[in-house]
Amino acid sequence: MEVLETTIPDVKLFRPKVFGDERGFFMESYNRNTLKILCGLDVEFVQDNHSRSTKNVLRGLHYQTEQAQGKLVRVISGVVFDVAVDLRQSSATFGQWSGSVLSGQNHHQYYVPPGFAHGFVVLSESADFLYKTTDYYAPEYEQCIRWDDPDIGIEWPFEGEPSLSEKDQAGVSFREAVYYD
C-alpha cells in the first residue's frame, strides 16, 4: 500500500497494491499493521457501512459532536468526489478542506480522522460506497454543514444542482457549526 499526499496532512489517501490479470484482481483492502507502519495510523474500526447512490447525489457534510468518527472510505463501483473538512479549532488547517476522486477502478481509500466533517458527490451513473468507522453512529449527535458554504469553498466537480436529502438541505453554515477543540 502507498500513502499519497493530501492538502491536509492528517487526512490520508491510500493506494493499495492491486494484483490483476484477465481473470480479475485481488487486493488487500485493509490491514491494521500496514497502516500503522506506513503512517502511524493505529485505530480500531467498530462499524462497516455501505451506501449506493445515483449520479449527482451529494451526501454531507456530516459529523458527530460526540462519538466523533474516523472513517476509512472507498468506492467499489462507480466514481465519487470525497471531501473532508477540518473542524478542529486547534488545528493549523481548521476550516480547510481536502478532496479526492475515489473509484472502483483506482481503488484509492481515504482516511478521514475524527474531528472532520465528511461528504461526497457521485460523479458516475451510480456508486457503491463502503466505509469503516472508529465509533458507532449516534444520530442524536449528528450535525450537517451546508455542502455549498462559501466560507469553506469546496470546489465540487459537477454541473447543475446536487440531489440532497432533507437533512442535507437543512445543513447549517460553517459559521453556525459546532466545532471540536
Active site residue 62: yes
CB neighbour class for 3 (10 Å; exposed up to 12, middle 13-18, buried from 19): middle
DSSP at 67? S
Instruction: Output the CA torsion 18→3→152→46 (10° steps).
Output: 70
Active site residue 108: no
Cα of first residue to Cα of last residue in the chain, in angstroms, is 32
A 10 A CB-CB count for 23 gives 6
The contacts of residue 116 (CB under 8 Å, 6+ apart) are: 11, 63, 84, 85, 86, 87, 88
Of 63, 110, 111, 131, which residue is the catalytic one?
131
Of 62, 107, 108, 118, which residue is the catalytic one?
62
| Residues classed as catalytic | 62, 131
